Amino acid sequence: MKAKDIKSLKKRYLVWLYKSVRDELDRVERKFTQLDIDRFILNELNKSDKDKAVSSFIGQFQDYIQNKENSALSLKFENKKIKPEYLFLSFKLEAIEKAIYKELGKAGLNQIKGLYEKEMIKRILGEREEKV
């Protein structure tokens, strides 16, 4: 094989590895980031609902947040310690990023991270369009 073809194969494998591990980590981490936003929204809703006209809906949203928090904590922690599976994924993603850097340089790493983010946003927007 030509050196260019080998580099291309390595790049595709590294992209696949990055995507696979990042997806697994994001499944856990997005719950925590969503909780930050959900709590902010809940606080704003409580401020807006001075006459308690929508308090039952706010209560349901509060329950939703609590359930999400319980789910998030169970995915990442066990007996108040980070789960070994989660820790392994974190270490693995770091190692993959180092491998990308070694093989493709900083620009290659930034490109792969950028492509991943673009793809995730594309999927989100695509889901919204299908549900409308």
Say what the pLDDT of residue 117 is.
Answer: 97
Q: What single letter denotes the amino acid at residue 13? A: Y
Neighbours of 19 (CB within 10 A): 16
Nearest to 21 by CA among 118, 83, 97, 123: 97
Question: What residue ranges of the chain have pLDDT lower than 70?
Answer: 128-132
The Cβ-side half-sphere exposure at 11, using a 13 Å CA radius, reads 16
CA-derived radius of gyration, the chain:
20
pLDDT of residue 71: 95
**Around Cβ 22, how many Cβ atoms within 10 Å?**
21
Whole-angstrom distance, CA of residue 104 vs CA of residue 43: 45
pLDDT at residue number 120: 95
Chain segment 12-26, per-residue pLDDT in tens: 999 999 999 999 999
Q: What is the predicted pLDDT for the residue at 108?
A: 97
Helices (H) and strands (E) in the chain, counts: 3, 2
DSSP structure class, residue 83: -
